Amino acid sequence: MPLHINTPLLESLPLSAITRKHIWLKMDALQPSGSFKIRGVGLACEEYARQGKTRFVSSSGGNAGIAVAYAGRKLGLPVVVVVPESTSERACALIREQQATLVVQGATWAEANTHALSLLNDSDAFIHPFDDPLLWQGHASIIDEVAAEAMRPDAIVLSVGGGGLFAGVMEGLQRNGWADMPVITVETDGTASLARAVEQRDRVTLPTITGVATSLGAKQVCEQAFSLAMSHPVSPAVVTDRQAVQACRRFIDDHRVLIEPACGASLALVYEASHLLNDYENILVIVCGGVTASVEQVMSWTETH
Ligand X SMILES: *Cc1c(COP(=O)(O)O)cnc(C)c1O
Q: Nearest distance from residue 131's CB to ligand X, in Å?
A: 9
Helix (H) or strand (E) holding 234: strand 234-239
Nearer to ligand X, 22 or 229 (CB): 229
How far, in Å, are 2, 94, 179 from residue 13 at the CA level?
31, 32, 28
Does position 215 interact with ligand X (CB under 6 A)? The reply is: yes
Q: Can you tell me which of 160, 169, 198, 228 binds ligand X, judged by CB under 6 A?
A: 160
Does position 159 interact with ligand X (CB under 6 A)? The reply is: yes
Interface of this chain with ligand X, residues 243 to 282, rule: CB under 6 A = 260, 262-263
Tell me how far apart the terminal alpha carbons of the chain are, to the nearest angstrom.
42
**Span near ligand X by CB under 6 A; candidates 80-88, 90-98, 240-248, 285-293:** 285-293
Euclidean distance between CA atoms 257 and 215, whole angstroms? 18
Whose CA is closest to 260, among 300, 213, 218? 213
111 CB neighbour count, 10 Å cutoff: 15
Q: Nearest distance from residue 108's CB to ligand X, in Å?
A: 18
Nearer to ligand X, 22 or 217 (CB): 217
CB 157 within 8 A of CB 186: yes
Nearer to ligand X, 140 or 165 (CB): 165
Contacts of 265 (CB under 8 A, 6+ apart): 159, 186, 187, 188, 213, 216, 239, 243, 244, 247
CB 100 within 8 A of CB 69: yes
**Span near ligand X by CB under 6 A; candidates 156-164, 232-240, 246-254, 272-280:** 156-164
How far, in Å, are 242, 295, 304 from residue 300 at the CA level?
12, 9, 6
Nearer to ligand X, 212 or 262 (CB): 262
Does position 113 interact with ligand X (CB under 6 A)? The reply is: no
Interface of this chain with ligand X, residues 30 to 89, rule: CB under 6 A = 35, 37, 62-63
Interface of this chain with ligand X, residues 177 to 206, rule: CB under 6 A = none
Nearer to ligand X, 84 or 290 (CB): 290
Does position 290 interact with ligand X (CB under 6 A)? The reply is: yes
Contacts of 202 (CB under 8 A, 6+ apart): none
Q: Can you tell me which of 138, 164, 190, 236 binds ligand X, judged by CB under 6 A?
A: 164
Q: Which residues pair with 24 in a beta bridge?
A: 11, 284
Q: Can you tell me which of 24, 48, 70, 130 binds ligand X, judged by CB under 6 A?
A: 130
Nearer to ligand X, 132 or 272 (CB): 132
| H helix count then E strand count, the chain | 13, 10
DSSP string, 1-64: --SS----EEE-HHHHHHHTSEEEEE-GGGSTTSBTHHHHHHHHHHHHHHTT--EEEE--SSHH
Size of interface with ligand X, in residues (CB under 6 A) = 22
Nearer to ligand X, 199 or 281 (CB): 199
Nearer to ligand X, 153 or 290 (CB): 290
Q: Nearest distance from residue 233's CB to ligand X, in Å?
A: 18
Does position 211 interact with ligand X (CB under 6 A)? The reply is: no
Rule CB under 6 A: which residues touch ligand X?
A: 35, 37, 62-63, 130, 159-166, 215-216, 218, 260, 262-263, 288-290
